[in-house]
Amino acid sequence: MAQGRIAVDTERCKGCELCTTVCPKDVIRMAETFNARGYRPAELADPDHKCTGCAICAVICPDAAISVYRFAKTPGVAARA
């Protein structure tokens, strides 16, 4: 399965929570801290590396505050345990 991660521009995020509703892996949550504008920005909460980099969160984000990174698998290389 593909793996990825997201980066949220915390100062751009207005805390609308749309990204949390569309994440198929449920790995986006709202931060406990506030940004400079007084909003709780979204953040990646993915200790088990479930994010696939599907980019649905970035597409729905009205503030373009989410960057998505997808990790390419190298053919012929076995995963380390």
35 CB-near residues (< 8 Å, 6+ apart): 10, 11, 13, 41
pLDDT at 74: 65
pLDDT at 77: 57
Domains of the chain in sequence order: 3-71 (3.30.70.20)
pLDDT at 2: 83
pLDDT tens sequence for the chain (81 residues) = 789 999 999 999 999 999 999 999 999 999 999 999 999 999 999 999 999 999 999 999 999 999 999 997 766 655 554
Question: 68: how many CB neighbours lie within 10 A of its CB?
Answer: 17
